Amino acid sequence: MPFVTVGTENATDISLYYEDHGTGDPVVLIHGYPLSGTSWERQLPALLAAGYRVVTYDRRGFGRSSQPATGYHYDTFADDLRKLIETLKLDHVCLVGFSMGGGEVARYIGKYGSTGVRKAVIIGGVPPFLLKTPDNPEGVDQGVFDGILKAVATDRYAFFSEFFGNFFNTDVLKGSRISEDAIHASWIVAAQSSPIASIACVPTWGEDFRGDLARIDVPLLVIHGDADRIVPLGASGARTAKLVKGAQLEIVKDGPHAVNWTHADDVNASLLTFLRR
C-alpha cells in the first residue's frame, strides 16, 4: 500500500495512506471527520471517467494512516498535505475539501499560497469561522463544542451513532438517499480511527480561517446543503462564498452535511462543470 512519511513520533514514522488513480490534471480529495479517503467513493468514478487524476488520502489519525498522539491542528494538517503534493509532484492541482477538509483547503492556501493550485472546492466546509466570538456573532456557542468534546471522550462509539444520524439526516433520507448498510460502513470507519484523534480534532472545528480565505486567489466553488445540521449553511458556506472574491456558491436543496454521498449526482455535476470551466 502507498504511504508518504510526514514526520516522526519518537522512533516511529508518521505516514499517510493515499491512493493515486488516473491521468490528467490532478484533483486531491480531502475527507471529513471521522471518515477516511474511502468516503469519496461516489466521486471517484465520475472524476476518473472525466479524465482527471484523482488522489485521496487519509488524514493522520484516520483510516489507514498512522495514529500519532500529536499534530491534530490545521497548521500540521496543511503541512501533511504539502508533503503529499510534493512527494507526488502534483502541479496544476484542484484541492477539494469536505467538512474538516475545507479547513485544509483554506489553511493550505493561507500558509503556502496558490502556486501549483489551479482551483479549489469546499463542500460543507468549516470555514470561515464556526466559533461565536464578539467579532464573529454568526458563529456557534462554545458550549456546543464543549458538549461534543465531552460526548466523544465519554463514549465515542455512541457519539458516532448519533453523529451520523445528523451527518446524513437519516430521519428524512434513510432508505431513499442512503441505506442502513452505508451508514453502518461509515460507523466502522469512524470506530477504527484513533481515539486521540477523535477527541483532538473537535476543537479544530472552531479555527478561524478568515485570514486564510483572504489569500485565496484562484477560482473557488462552495457546495453546501441547505439542510446541513452539522455545519449550518448560514454560518459557513454562505459566508465563505461572500468572503472570497468571485467565489461560486452551489446550494443543494434538502442536502444534509454529507451531500457528497446523499446527493452525489448533484455534487458531481457541479464539480465537473467547475473543473472544466
**Which residues are marked as active site?**
99, 228, 257
Tell me the three state secondary structure of residue 90: coil
Q: Return the axis-axis angle of helices 74-87 and 100-112, rounded to nearest 10°.
A: 70
Residue in this structure with the C-alpha cell 489569500, named with its chain if needed:
215
- For residue 190, CA distances in Å to 18, 185, 253 come to 17, 9, 27
Whether 30 and 81 have beta carbons less than 8 Å apart is answered as yes
Within 10 A of 111 (CB to CB), how many other CB atoms are there?
15
Tell me the three state secondary structure of residue 167: helix
C-alpha to C-alpha distance for 241 and 44, rounded to whole angstroms = 25
Here the cell at position 142 is 462554545
Whether 60 and 16 have beta carbons less than 8 Å apart is answered as yes
Whether 198 and 152 have beta carbons less than 8 Å apart is answered as yes
C-alpha to C-alpha distance for 19 and 87, rounded to whole angstroms = 13
The total number of residues shown for the chain amounts to: 277
